[in-house]
Amino acid sequence: MKQLVVDIGNTRIKAAIFGNDMLLKEFIFEDFNSFLEESKIQEFDHAIISSVTYTEDRLKELLDFEFLFLDSKTLLPFKNLYATPETLGVDRKAAVVGARTIFKDCPILAIDLGSCITYDFMDVNDRYLGGAITPGLQMRLKAMNQLTARLPLVDLEQGIIPKFVGDSTVSCLRSGVYYGIQFEMKGFIQEYQEQYHGLKVIICGGDSKIFESLTKDHIFVIPNLVLHGLNRILSYNVNYQ
């Protein structure tokens, strides 16, 4: 049985084909039309879509195949103790489910480095307790440019870790954002580890590879974690029926 999983984000569309819980193909699309064309030539039995930009009704108008739309009513393979479950982001659900498919019988912390950085925690008894949300890498860089009069808009140089002690305004901005996020993550991870023995941490999302230096025996970087989570949620709903 093949399953199509689709994650429509703010800037890109990520998709994958799974067969018997094995990742067979993975795609990244810069626009919806590219995804639409590819979906017409792929063979699959079931599909799930997570979207922050398209509504379920709009997707039904655009697509010629049936799909499960991930929302607050979708059955999930964990006990959700979030105080406002209707506001829990779809990517956060998928990330923590993806983490659980990889690591069983232990507390898990999924850190998704996207437009925002989200921290999502599930205890050893498969109870989702919540987490935290902070500004993402690009959001921090843009905020310092847009909310000040003189700071320039900069980006991190591809594959280059910024110098810790910045010696120019540009390098200071890069240092502040990069190490600010790094120390933030280390702080969250340390606090969770002190409270929950045996914690496993999975870092995912578009900016996750920038922070691969954080990986240790209990910290893992899995950029496509959300896709694995979507596949598990789809299988859970198919089997439930």
Which residue ranges are tagged as binding site for substrate? 82, 89-92, 169
- Return the closest-CA partner of residue 182 out of 194, 170, 174: 174
C-alpha 117/C-alpha 5 separation (Å) is 22
CA 116 to chain centre: 10
Annotated binding site for K(+): 112
What beta strand segments (E) does the chain contain? 2-8, 13-19, 22-29, 46-51, 68-69, 79-80, 108-113, 116-122, 127-135, 200-204, 219-221
108-113 vs 116-122, strand pairing mode? antiparallel
Annotated active-site residue 120? The verdict is: no
* Catalytic residue (choose from 91, 123, 126, 155): 91
Euclidean distance between CA atoms 168 and 155, whole angstroms? 14
Cα end-to-end span (Å), the chain: 15
* Max CA pair span of the chain: 60
Summarize the annotated binding site as residue ranges: 7-14, 82, 89-92, 112, 115, 169
Label the pairing between strands 13-19 and 22-29: antiparallel
Q: What are phi and psi of 29, to 5 degrees?
A: -120, 140
Enzyme catalytic residues: 91
